[in-house]
Amino acid sequence: MAADSPRWFKSSYSGGEGNCVEVADLRRSSFPAIAVRDSKNLSGPVLGLRIGAFSLFVAGVKAGQLGTV
């Protein structure tokens, strides 16, 4: 892993039924954000969220406001 590669962490909200997401803190990069990806598709797309948007995303997950696909 390169020194500038993000460090990915599995979400504590990822359950055992295969619905797993990983997050990486990019606040020290040129695009300060939180990155989100599907842990089952590591080479797939990455969603970059500004800090405020990520906070709203987490609040929605905790409140059960986001459905599953």
Phi first, then psi: give them for residue 11, nearest 5 degrees.
-60, 140
Q: How far apart are CA 2 and CA 49, in angstroms?
A: 22
- Please compute the mean of the pLDDT values over residues 16-38 and round it to a whole number: 83
Model confidence pLDDT, tens digit, residues 29-46: 777 899 999 888 989 999
Is the pLDDT at 3 greater than 60? The verdict is no
Residue carrying structure tokens 């997401």: 21
Q: How far apart are CA 53 and CA 31, in angstroms?
A: 14
pTM score of the predicted model: 0.71
Structure tokens at 50: 């500004």
